[in-house]
């Protein structure tokens, strides 16, 4: 499974990238707002920092304007994935921009039928939002399983990018179900290394080591 960081915070991206676990980055208008940065400036900086895809989202609602914005975003760097909403106009823009050779991430997917349309329109990535489905008392990971089955049935190359990840359990389940990618906030990625038994074991080892009176260095 590929790991993408869902953030526009440069320091957090740099830390994960240095560890060697980061395969890409996803941003959206809300994350750009949170960063307080200019969208072109911060997107260019992120794209220069990581080797993998960096998703940058259009804000237009109509296909012609989406296509125009998408081209401008793609011009920022070679590893930009143009992020388009899963609307009819978004699908039109996906077809046009993917036909020009651009990498497309179709976002805000909440059904298997939507994912099927995105794959047929040429999307490189489909982003099912599992956390938001959980918010309305549906199991978001069921959608990952449905899309995986459908894509495998027909040999679609579109990668399943599990989004709206809220917990370490989401990550585990998405990996178990065969999502190609997961994108999560840096704080969730950090939590993947945490376990209370690890902490307890380390505490015991350190207490016993102190009793030996020895030093390694």
Q: Which residues are catalytic?
A: 83
C-alpha closest to that of 104 among 50, 66, 132: 66
Are 84 and 59 in contact by the 8 Å Cβ rule? The answer is no
| SS3 call for 108 | strand
Full DSSP string of 35-95: HTS-HHHHHHHHHHH-SS-EEEE---SSHHHHHHHHHHHHTT-TTEEEEEESSHHHHHHHH
φ/ψ (deg, to 5) at 112: -65, -35
């Amino acid at each position: 499974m590929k790991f993408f960081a869902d953030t526009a915070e440069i320091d957090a991206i740099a830390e994960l990238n240095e560890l060697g676990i980061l395969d890409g980055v996803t941003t959206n208008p809300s994350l750009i707002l949170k960063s307080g940065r200019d969208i072109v400036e911060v997107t260019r900086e992120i794209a220069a920092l990581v080797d993998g895809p960096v998703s940058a989202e259009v804000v237009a609602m109509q296909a012609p304007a989406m296509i125009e914005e998408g081209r401008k975003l793609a011009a920022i760097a070679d590893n930009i994935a143009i992020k388009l909403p899963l609307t009819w106009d978004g699908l039109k823009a996906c077809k046009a921009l993917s036909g020009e050779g651009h990498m497309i991430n179709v976002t805000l997917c909440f059904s298997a039928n939507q994912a099927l349309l995105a794959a047929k329109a040429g999307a490189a990535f489909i982003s099912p939002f599992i956390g938001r489905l959980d918010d309305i008392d549906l199991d978001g990971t069921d959608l990952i399983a449905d899309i995986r089955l459908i894509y495998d049935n027909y040999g679609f190359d579109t990668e399943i990018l599990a989004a709206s990840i809220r917990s370490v359990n989401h990550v585990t389940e998405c990996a178990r179900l065969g999502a190609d990618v997961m994108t999560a906030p840096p704080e969730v990625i950090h939590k993947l290394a945490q376990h209370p038994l690890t902490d307890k074991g380390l505490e015991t080892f350190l207490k016993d080591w102190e009793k030996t009176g020895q030093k390694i260095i």
